[in-house]
Amino acid sequence: MKVIDFKKYPMPRMRHHVNPTLYLSFKSHHKSPFWYPPLIEHIKWDDYFANGKQPTVLDIGCGRGGLLIDYSLIHPEINILGMELRKQAVEWIHSVLAGEELTNVATLWYSVVNGLSFIEDDSIDTIFYFFPDPWPKLRHHKRRLFSQEFLEELYRVMRHDATLFLMTDVEEVDLYQQEIMKEYGKFTFEYCENDEDWDLPKTDQEKFSLRKGIPYKRMIVRKR
């Protein structure tokens, strides 16, 4: 597998969170703030991927793209798309993808709370949703992406045998997500303790948790 010398791509200092309005849907704003990521309804995939095909793997909230880039190197035949709110992170990932001429991976500056209408029904094999921002205060829960509407969109784009992978180091988030999935009812889910069933490169946040000895939960979610 190709090894990237990341020293060639100095990473800017990034704030942990962005303007809180970005976590809310575009239509919930009375006026469209100029700093809001563009709404995307349709995509011409040949602008993003060398083979012109739509992605079959999504990384939602890809952050600095550690998993995204490693996954694309391990699976050069698969198109993977990251989506991320923090513009600086997306710009940095773009600089790496351009510098390394990686053409099976792309990232969008996009707030996923606005849905995935640019992804076709029954087209996705794998979705990653890793270490979502916990927003522990009750008044901030509305900034959490995981909701009935979000699950409905995931269900729509997933193929019948697709897998949704979840990972979090916040117990409250884990329980919250389980509650939402139970209410939604169209998914089965189980914890994954076994590395063989979780054959994925590590995310940046996962590496951080491992370095600091912070425990985290992994969950495998499938359509019923």
Ligand X SMILES: C[S@@+](CC[C@H](N)C(=O)[O-])C[C@H]1O[C@@H](n2cnc3c(N)ncnc32)[C@H](O)[C@@H]1O
Best CA proximity match to 127, nearest among 153, 99, 148, 158: 158
Type of residue numbered 17: H
Q: How many of the chain's residues bind ligand X (CB under 6 A)? A: 21
Q: Which residues 6+ apart lie within 8 Å of 17 measured at CB?
A: 133
Q: Which range of residues in 1-9, 187-195, 197-205, 216-224 is near ligand X by CB under 6 A?
A: 197-205
Fill in the DSSP letter of residue 17: S
Overall size of the chain counted in residues: 224
Q: Which of residues 150-179 bind ligand X (CB under 6 A)?
A: none
Q: Which residues are catalytic?
A: 133
Q: Are 150 and 112 in contact (CB under 8 A)?
A: yes
Number of alpha carbons in the 13 Å side-chain half-sphere of residue 191: 7
| Shorter beta-carbon distance to ligand X: residue 62 or 162 | 62
Q: Name the percent of the chain in helix, strand, coil, to the closest 5.
A: 35, 20, 45
Q: Determine which helix (DSSP H) or strand (DSSP E) holds 68, and give its type and residue range.
A: helix 66-74
Q: Which range of residues in 26-34, 48-56, 175-183, 198-206 is near ligand X by CB under 6 A?
A: 198-206
Is residue 23 within the footprint of ligand X (CB under 6 A)?
Answer: yes
Q: Where are the beta strands (DSSP E) in the chain?
A: 57-60, 80-84, 105-109, 124-130, 158-168, 187-191, 217-223
Q: Which range of residues in 44-52, 156-164, 181-189, 200-208 is near ligand X by CB under 6 A?
A: 200-208
Q: Are 65 and 93 in contact (CB under 8 A)?
A: yes
| Shorter beta-carbon distance to ligand X: residue 139 or 224 | 139
Q: Which of residues 38-67 bind ligand X (CB under 6 A)?
A: 61-63, 66
Candidates 133, 184, 187, 220; binder of ligand X (CB under 6 A) is 133
Sort strands 80-84 and 124-130 into parallel, antiparallel or unpaired.
unpaired
Is residue 105 within the footprint of ligand X (CB under 6 A)?
Answer: no
Candidates 54, 104, 177, 203; binder of ligand X (CB under 6 A) is 203
CA 199 to chain centre: 17
Candidates 48, 131, 135, 165; binder of ligand X (CB under 6 A) is 131
Q: Provide, rounded to whole angstroms, the least separation between the CB of residue 25 and ligand X.
A: 9
Is residue 115 within the footprint of ligand X (CB under 6 A)?
Answer: no
Is residue 145 within the footprint of ligand X (CB under 6 A)?
Answer: yes
Candidates 55, 72, 86, 181; binder of ligand X (CB under 6 A) is 86
What are the residues binding ligand X (CB under 6 A)? 23, 61-63, 66, 83-86, 111-113, 130-133, 145, 203-206
